[in-house]
Amino acid sequence: MSETWKALKPYALITPQTLVFLMFLVFPILMIGVVSFWEFNGYSMTPAFTLDNYQGILTDVTLKTYLNTFKFLGLTWLATLLIGYPVAYFLAFHVPKLEWQILLFLVCTIPFWTSNIIRMISWVPLLGREGLVNQGLMGIGLTQEPLQFLLFSDFAVVLGMVHLYIIFMIAPIFNSLMRIERSLVTAAEDLGASGFQTFREVILPLSAPGIAIGSIFIVTLIMGEFVTVRLMGGGQSASVGKLIQTQIGSLQYPLAAANAMVLLAVTMLIIISILRVLDIRKEL
């Protein structure tokens, strides 16, 4: 009796959580797959097996939208890495006490827990036509007219995404930097390595898994992103997420579902390529 209970206990314990994921994650995504083959007559969808929806999205517009999404992804990834790495490095190697490291890390983390919408709105008084940046630039005479590209543009979208998601790059890198044995750094220095050599030969390779995890987060966050594109982008800015959202808005579920399946496949492909280059198993 007690032996059986011991073997069954973990299954009983994980049941509630597993049920939630089955109901609200696995089943819905399977349904997207199913519905993507259904027929759509302009008003409602009916169960069927047709490839029309997939053919319907094989257009120049979709291709352009994907290219635009990749552009956002590439720029945001590069910016979060180039800004996030030095920040994580500073916290891990230059802040002396553990209490201070945690406190400063918390300072970086707090905005992440607040509303994304509000964080995007806060850029308006800074970047708008009459915003602080334009007032400043015209004040010192650098520009005669307010710069238009600052808000409601692709530039603003990337800026907004970096602002919103950079913590997802910083946290994993910080985590892997903190795990590096400090004696390795000392050993490299004792053997005569310069600061840059130590960084390139010791610290960077050991923090690569952190970079990989951060990159995976950035990829999954950006690929389906539509809020930033809607709020910060001009009417022209397009992304796959926004496209899907528009199709859902007009109740074209099968078309949206087909798009979503392609999006999922593309996202998985990028993640798999990241995992082939960088091994993250040590971090898990």
Partner 1 sequence: MKKRPLSFYLLLAFFCLFVLFLYGPMITIFMLSMQGPDGGLTFPMRGFSFYWLGQVFQEQRVGNFIEPFVRSLLLGAAVMAITITASVLASMGFRQRFKGSTVIFYMTIASLIVPSILVSLGIGVVFQVMGWPTNWFTSGLGAHLTWTLPIAFLIMLGIFNRFNPSYEEAARDLGATDPKTFWEIVLPLIAPSLLGVGLLTFTLSYDEFTRTSLVSGQNNTLPLEIFGMTTNVTSPALYALGTLTTVFSASLILIAFFAYNAVVKRQRGQA
Q: Based on the shown chain and the rule CB under 8 A, indicate whether residue 163 belongs to the binding site for partner 1.
A: yes
Return the residue of 71, 81, 104, 278 that touches partner 1, per CB under 8 A. 104
Kindly state the number of chain residues that form the binding site for partner 1, as judged by CB under 8 A.
Answer: 78
Kindly state whether residue 256 participates in binding partner 1, applying the rule CB under 8 A.
yes
Q: Per CB under 8 A, does 200 bind partner 1?
A: no
Does residue 231 interact with partner 1 by CB under 8 A? yes
Residue 160 CA to residue 268 CA, distance in Å, equals 24
Residues 107-126 that bind partner 1 (CB under 8 A): 107-108, 110-111, 113-119, 121-126
Rounded CA-CA distance 169/173 in Å is 7
Q: How far is the CB of 183 from partner 1 (least distance, A)?
A: 19
The CB density around residue 63, as the number of other CB atoms within 10 Å, is 11
Contact pick of 180, 193, 206, 221 for partner 1 (by CB under 8 A): 221
Region of 252 on the Ramachandran plot (φ > 0 left; ψ -120 to 50 alpha; else beta): beta
Residue 62 or 116: the one with the smaller Cβ distance to partner 1 is 116
Among residue numbers 71 through 90, which ones bind partner 1 (CB under 8 A)?
83, 86-87, 89-90
Q: Using the minimum distance from each CB to partner 1, give the nearer residue, 139 or 205.
A: 139
Q: Closest approach of Cβ 53 to partner 1, in Å?
A: 13
Query: Distance of CA 270 to CAs 23, 38, 77, 273, 281, Å?
Result: 27, 28, 13, 5, 17
Residue 45, SS3 per DSSP: strand
What residues contact residue 220 under an 8 Å CB cut-off, 6+ apart? 267, 271
Cβ proximity to partner 1, 131 vs 208, nearer residue = 131
We find the least distance from the C-beta atom of residue 191 to partner 1, in angstroms, to be: 19
Instruction: Kindly state whether residue 63 participates in binding partner 1, applying the rule CB under 8 A.
Output: no
User: Quick count: other Cβ atoms within 10 Å of Cβ 23?
Assistant: 10
Binding residue (CB under 8 A) for partner 1 from 137, 178, 180, 227: 227
What is the C-alpha to C-alpha distance for residues 213 and 168, in angstroms, rounded to an integer?
Answer: 9
Cα 154 to Cα 138: distance, rounded to the nearest angstrom: 22
Question: Which residues in the 143-162 window bind partner 1 by CB under 8 A?
Answer: none
Angstrom distance (rounded) from CA 189 to CA 183:
10
Rounded Cα distance between 157 and 260, Å, is 21
Q: Could you tell me which stretch among 26-34, 54-62, 140-148, 181-189 binds partner 1 (CB under 8 A)?
A: 26-34
Between 83 and 137, CB nearer to partner 1: 83
- Residue found under tokens 């995992």: 275
- Nearer CB in complex with partner 1: 50/220: 220
Check the CA dihedral 8-13-14-17 and report its sign. positive
Binding residue for partner 1 (CB under 8 A) from 31, 48, 67, 277? 31
